[in-house]
Structure 1
Amino acid sequence: MSTSTRKRRRGSAPAPAPVPAKPKARSRSRSRSEPWSIPLLDEWGLSRFQQRLVVVAGSVAGVLVATFGFILAVGAIGNGYVPEQATSSAIGGQPRPDTYKGWVSPKLFAPIARSEDDPKPLTLKDVFAEKTLKGDGITLQLAGTHLDADCAAAVWGQELVDLLAQGGCTQAARGVYASADGRYVAQYTLLNLRDTASADALVQELTTLHRGGWTQILEADKAPFPVGGHTEGSGHAMGHYAGLVWFGRADGADPGPKDDFLSLGLTVRGAEKAVFRRVVAADPEAVPAP
């Protein structure tokens, strides 16, 4: 290789250094912050507004109305419930709810965990003392009541009859309501059982048992229940009592956008004030009397 060639190579410009890749600009998140919510309550289908109501109610639970309303709301929203959807609202001509949710007894009702702690029998005057129940935009008027000393007379389905017998059921108080505008009907049944274990077992077993056994319709001219129509139900253990809620539109139609079944279920549970009074009678410091 010649000297001139070496000089030319040595004098040539060095190869340009690689240009570093431009860092990618961080993409700005276009999504706005999620609206305030509680994931568990989202799963239960509550709107943001309803969730806020539950939280607010809990924060003022020391006030009587808030205490009672909060307990009902918690019972309606759920505590480990398992909803069941049935394919038909009647089996063999016997009406029962299309859906059912059940909850075991809260600690609040510990003072009346056993019937011997609360021996005074139920009366219709006690359970259905209020002829009108008012909720969020719903007013229910009592249309009929009945008290059975034989719990088997208040229900249908042999398995349910046997379960009530095993639970030592001694009374079944039923009341049927119609909304002031005639749009809804509702029935509330309060069962007097042996103890909390029996009440818990009943509301839990009904998660599937309601398909083949439920409460009998209490006939009332002013509150005809929609046989064969869409209805919904729930069960609530309260110490040695179990309350069964059953409601729907009077025309039997499925609920529409304007039908607030959550509020309807809470409103009919106003009959449970009688149970709260019994808690106070057994333990005056347990909860303010309604």
Structure 2
Amino acid sequence: MTMANDDLSSLTRNPLKERLARGELAASMSLRISRSHEIGRIAASAGFSTLYVDLEHSVLSLETAAMLCHAAREAGVVPLVRVPGVDAAFIGRVLDGCAMGLILPHIEDASQARAAVAAAMYPPRGGRSMGSGQALLHYRSFPAAQAASALNASLFIAVMVESAAGLGAVDAIAAVDGVDMLFVGAGDLGAELGWADGDDDVVVAVFERVLAAARSHGKFVGAGGIANRPEVMRRVLRLGVRFVSTGTDLGFLASGAARQLAVVTQAHQDASA
């Protein structure tokens, strides 16, 4: 039995795309070491609207990524996955595992962006294989053409601008149909361009360039690698950045543990004085 179209629309809603379209902040965290479904509820309780499973900088398995995506979605947090690269077969499996969007690293020209979109989208917009039993559809049955169209429309695709080549081609990349967001990877980009700690104006100028390209093509802009640059963060948010990667589960655990240990150590020193 097939389900009504309004059920299909409800199942394929992407609150992240809706949030960004309203101009609201989408604060994200990345998962590199989490292997338990509780992290979805923890992220929701902390107030995150989205998270991404980082398969570029972790040893997490595809099976674990799928479990984390399912858990996040059930908790009301939009699950994304950063894949290691533009591999159509791998991207298809990630999306079959309940990811509601992708982050594609190291996109350096429009052809790479088009390849990413083609790998992620069903025909006629791409070449993704349509398997039966879609996780995002709660394994319900819908007419194939309608399901493909709805899933294509709901998919969130972010391409990372994190090299001099990508920055140079940013306008052409932004023009690619199917790309939703230009995600500035300030860590890798800064390493290549030689940014120093005091180069806030230089960093902000890069965001201004990316924002100009994004606006001319109706795309969003995200920021990663600026969590430890609060002044840069304030300035780029003022300019119009709305998606911010706030840090990793590993970083949160390490900093929280160190902070609490410092409190206990100080209390012990005070008690011993």
TM-score range, shorter chain: under 0.3
The structure that is helix-richer by fraction is: 2
TM-score, normalising length: structure 1: 0.26
The structure that is strand-richer by fraction is: 1
Larger Rg: 1
